Amino acid sequence: MKKIQPAYLAAYLAATVVFCLFDFVWLTVVAKDFYQSQLGSLMLAEPKLIPAAVFYLVYLFGLLIFAIIPAMHKQSWITATTLSALLGLVAYGTYDLSNLATLKGWSASLAVIDIVWGAFVSAASGTAGYCVTKAFQDEIHD
């Protein structure tokens, strides 16, 4: 069995910290009233923490595999940013556009804002994961 590379772990942890901090501020401060006004009674008073934690663990693993590691191979933060944003666009787009197509009361503005948020937070997190890994690798090679 292959050993997990420390650089991959560093990237995953850095991306996780950035994603969770940004998402926490987004959901509890910046866009809380917007989501409440858009979702109304569909929104729980308190989120279910286990499904939320599973989402973060799985999504950030995907960010590592599909964006950060390819960027590490190319040695390119631009690749990290681009692939991370693209993953966010696809993942959040799939969720929001499916909801827009099937749920009463799911607005186009909610879908657009959430998709843009997903692309942004993914890009920021993937870039942070790459940059931490790059610094980690540079430190090892010095």
- Residue range 22-66, pLDDT digits in tens: 999 999 999 999 999 999 888 898 899 999 999 999 999 999 999
Whole-number pLDDT of residue 139: 55
Answer whether residue 107 is part of any domain.
yes
The answer to whether position 1 is within a domain reads: no
Q: What are the helix (H) ranges across 29-104?
A: 32-39, 49-63, 69-74, 77-102
In sign, the C-alpha dihedral spanning 107, 112, 117, 122 is positive
The answer to whether the beta carbons of residues 38 and 114 sit under 8 Å apart is no
Q: Is the pLDDT of residue 141 over 50?
A: no
Output the pTM of the full model. 0.92
pLDDT digits (tens, 9 = 90+) for 6-15: 889 999 999 9
Total count of domains within the chain: 1
- Residue 44 tokens, joined: 């729980």
Range of the domain at 101: 6-141
Tokens linked to 30: 């910046």
Residue 109 lies in a domain: yes
Distance between CA atoms of residues 53 and 100, nearest Å: 24
90 neighbors 123 (Cβ within 8 angstroms)? no
DSSP for residue 103? S
